[in-house]
A and B are shown apart, each in its own frame.
Chain A
Amino acid sequence: MLSNEQRIELYYWMQLTRAFDDLMVATWRGGRGLGGVFSQRGHEAISIGSGYALAPEDVVAPMHRDLGCYLLRGMAPVRIFANMLGRANGVSRGRDVNLHGAGDLGLNLVGFISHLPHSLPVAVGVAMSFTYRREARVALTYVGDGSSSAGLFHESLNLASVQKAPFVLIIENNQYAYSTPLSQQMNIADIAVRAASYGIPGVVVDGNDVEAVYAATKTAVERARAGDGPSLIECKTMRMLGHAIHDGAEYVPRELLAEWEKRDPIVTYAARLVAEGVADQDELNEIAHRCAVEVADALAEAERSPFPDAATVTEGVYAP
């Protein structure tokens, strides 16, 4: 049962994620960005709700569309903006782009590579290391609906199940793999049914309801921590912008977007908090304002930060 303070925290983290995302999109559209970026708009309830159900010692391997998860686990916004701008103080020291390579084991975050779902077996291996060392920790990772078509999805979940790994998989079903709709990707209504073939629980939740995502993840995390093995959670949502910043997503029917706009995870959660007397609108406005200032300061600092020295290009290929 979430306390009022926790519910306001959930709102704060989602709002911080949205504020960062909005500023990022505006900055890149305004031509001040570098490389591509991926908006998380519409997915905030998934990365915040699931990430909030974890303990700090648990390990997460987020993907490129999980900005909220990085923020929630303590990655400073300036480090993320600096990464996106290729600066020396970015998470990857200018080595990797946007939220790729934004790993930091100090925050128990595993960095992402483009090849989806390659973080999936890696996160299973992280979970296997906990079993090996008899540690009561859990590993969690995210994939999209697109990833569920890859053979590695099957290899990884089968391995996790056989090994009874303390592992949770969140599927962010956002209707489209780049431009390809679900109907051209699979012949089933719910990806979660695939869990049955691994003998593990699979549930479908409303990916725009942060408390539903939190509750489902908490159940799965507790099961994993108790030694009962992995779970799969399919969060249904909608990708509200294009695949990446360059993509206008003209292939998505506008009516579909309008329908999902009414289900915006942050707007609906704010209304719920007010309706249930957890917070008043002024309080929530104040949080939103605080988030906007926080990310604006972070962007300004990142833009002032130096680029890496070209002479360092060959440094750090190998671990000492």
Chain B
Amino acid sequence: MNAAVVSANYGFAEAERSAVEERTLTYIAAISEALREEMARDPNVLIMGEDVADPFGGAFKVTKGLSDEFGTRRVLNMPMAELGFIGAATGMALMGLRPVVEMQFADFISAGFDSIVQFAATNYYRWQGAVPWVIRAPSDGGLRSGPFHSQNPEAWFVHAPGLKVVAPATPADAKGLLIAAIRDNNPVIYFESKPLYRSLKGYVPPGEHVTPIGVAQTMRQGDDVTIITYGAQVHQALEAAQTLAVEGIECEVLDLRTLKPLDEEAILAAATKTGKVLIVHSANRLAGVGAEVAALIAERAFEWLDAPIARLGGLDVPIPFSPPLEDAYRPNAAKIARMARELARF
């Protein structure tokens, strides 16, 4: 991850840039700021999870200082029982509270899968009991953390009716999408990208900053190849686009930001702009979110395509630990550039 490449101002207008310097936050600080501001704003917002209270403040320190500031009534350490406390969060949400549940790692969300996809996700459709919780899931790899601390399980949840799924790529969206998720009256899975936590800094608007759920963002304009991606791979795609620009290949880079519901119009607009589409995500490619994006483009923009839709994702193997193996598993800027170059020449 080359932070210098990705710490641009992400499309914020020049007029806003005077405030940029003092409002540059790391991705992880932006998440913490969203939590703190929403807890201050709404007494119904609380935090639950393993080891989230002070003095420890969470495995990644996202919640550090919050129980000191708001008390342990609002920052609840949970026993090591994800299924149980996700269910409890659903009960609290049914009563109108807005729990933000921290999974220590996204990998462990499978322990709570039943309660998420069966109970929380179906509830409103079945009997109109709203479940306004957020589950924060620290995901993604590249950190040499092995099969159980590197996963990207978003596709499981995109497939479950009744959930919303978001995956911010920038500090601004880390804050804005978390605020939107907390205020949403539905269960939202918020996939935060571990490799971006401290490597990525960027401008974050002060105060109330909401990134609407369901709206993608164009991160770079280009006429030759469209790269559609999300999460940490947005920055790999931008790095690849910069490499290709030197060669005269201009890439359009679309950050999906929300994986469910997909911003179909933005996807189709980006695809039809160049007619050559590469879809990238860290999660394994097979039946991943990219498959749905590819199907959408094939169904609704086939006549605009000048090349087969290309997809780049993780391999269909458990995520390996050893650096040569993990690097072989995982998409990166060089692989993206290679595939985009081939598409440009098609």
Contact = CB atoms under 8 A, between A and B. Distances in A.
Interface residues of B, number: 42
Interface in B123-151: 123-132
B145 to A, nearest CB: 26
Nearest to A135: B95
Most buried by B among A59, A96, A125: A125
Contacts of B131: 319
B127 A104 contact: yes
B186 A318 contact: yes
16 contacts: A103-B127, A103-B128, A113-B119, A121-B84, A121-B90, A121-B115, A122-B115, A122-B119, A126-B95, A127-B91, A128-B91, A152-B87, A155-B84, A159-B84, A319-B130, A319-B185
B159 to A, nearest CB: 14
A148 interface: no
A3 B244 CA distance: 85
A113 B97 CA distance: 21
Interface stretch (B75-83, B174-182, B251-259): B75-83
B186 A125 contact: no
Given A122-B119, A129-B97, A92 B185 contact: no
A92 B126 contact: yes
A4 B114 CA distance: 46
Interface string A26-38: 0000000000000
B88 interface: yes
Contacts of A133: 95, 97
**Nearest 6 interchain pairs by C-beta:** A125-B91, A121-B87, A155-B84, A125-B88, A101-B126, A129-B95
Contacts of B88: 121-122, 124-125, 128, 156, 159
B81 A155 contact: yes
B185 A110 contact: no
Interface string A81-96: 0000000000110011
Contacts of A96: 126-127
A115 interface: yes
B344 interface: no
Contact of A118 (B89, B118, B161): B118
Contacts of B129: 103, 105, 110-111
Nearest to B114: A115
Interface residues of A, number: 44
B92 interface: yes
Contact of B119 (A92, A118, A129, A158): A118
Given A127-B91, A132-B92, A159-B78, A317 B124 contact: yes
A151 B83 contact: yes
B87 A120 contact: yes
A129 B45 CA distance: 11
Contacts of B288: none
Contact of B127 (A102, A124, A152, A163): A102
Contacts of A113: 118-119, 122
B94 interface: yes
Contacts of B161: 317
Contacts of A95: 125-127
Interface string A143-159: 00000000110011011
B10 interface: no
B79 A92 contact: no
Contact of B46 (A100, A123, A132, A316): A132
Contacts of B186: 318-319
B41 interface: no
Contacts of B79: 155, 158-159, 162
B87 A122 contact: yes
A103 B95 CA distance: 13
A285 to B, nearest CB: 36
A115 B86 CA distance: 15
A317 B125 contact: yes
B162 interface: yes
Contact of B87 (A59, A105, A118, A163): A118
A253 interface: no
